[in-house]
Chain A
């Protein structure tokens, strides 16, 4: 069974970087696409970006200057880094797998990140 689990600090100071890890079990990240989504307080959701089976990436244009998604295939993990965070980046962050065609067929439970001094 494919399982994803997010991990990382729950509190980040403004202007610092947010770094999260998604650990995947039951499936290799060298297949399919893998990405990050966030849900803001108030429940608006935003697609952030993905990393492909080959390591190529695509990002939401609204985040393009601040976001980086990378991976460690030896650990079957992929990562999110979001730079220069503000309080507007306070959200629950989810990692997910893309099935062929673009749907998100497996998700992690999410990790809540608060940006506050």
Chain B
């Protein structure tokens, strides 16, 4: 089974900061890595699919990069509405989630 290690598990940043969240796969997952955002009490929302494709309606301050086993979600300029938990999902072989990153405002 593919394991996904996400870091950090908690992140505090200021409005306007550049924020990065990482996911590492236990084996090569090619490009099949997504990023999701979940705000408290809401449904998870797809942000980025297949490493770097922005889902419909998602602001361009969100971007994804990586390949193989190492992947990164970047928020170029943090906004107050970005406070949420973010998680990654690999779907190269089955589906496996990262442990999540809780993002708060400093």
CB atoms of B41 and A109 under 8 A apart: yes
B71 to chain A, nearest CB (A): 14
Q: How extensive is the interface on chain B, given as a class? A: 20 to 34
Q: How extensive is the interface on chain A, given as a class? A: 20 to 34
CB atoms of B43 and A102 under 8 A apart: no
B35 to chain A, nearest CB (A): 10
- Among A30-84, those with CB < 8 Å from B are 37, 43-47, 60
CB atoms of A105 and B87 under 8 A apart: no
A13 interface residue, CB < 8 Å from B?
no
* CB within 8 Å: A-B pair count: 54
Instruction: Determine the distance from Cα of A2 to Cα of B45 in the docked complex, in whole angstroms.
Output: 13
CB atoms of B46 and A103 under 8 A apart: yes
Given contacts A103-B34, A104-B34, A104-B89, contact A94 B95 (CB under 8 A): no
Choose from B45, B55, B95, B100 the contact partner of A107 (Cβ within 8 Å): B45
Instruction: Determine the distance from Cα of A98 to Cα of B35 in the docked complex, in whole angstroms.
Output: 14
B85 interface residue, CB < 8 Å from A?
yes
CB atoms of A108 and B43 under 8 A apart: yes
Q: Which residues of B contact A101 (CB under 8 A)?
A: 32, 49-50, 91
Q: Which residues of A contact B91 (CB under 8 A)?
A: 101-103
Instruction: Determine the distance from Cα of A82 to Cα of B87 in the docked complex, in whole angstroms.
Output: 25
Give chain A's interface residues, CB within 8 Å of chain B. Answer: 4, 37, 43-47, 60, 94, 96, 99, 101-110
9 contacts between A and B (CB under 8 A): A45-B100, A47-B95, A101-B32, A101-B49, A103-B46, A105-B49, A106-B43, A107-B43, A108-B43
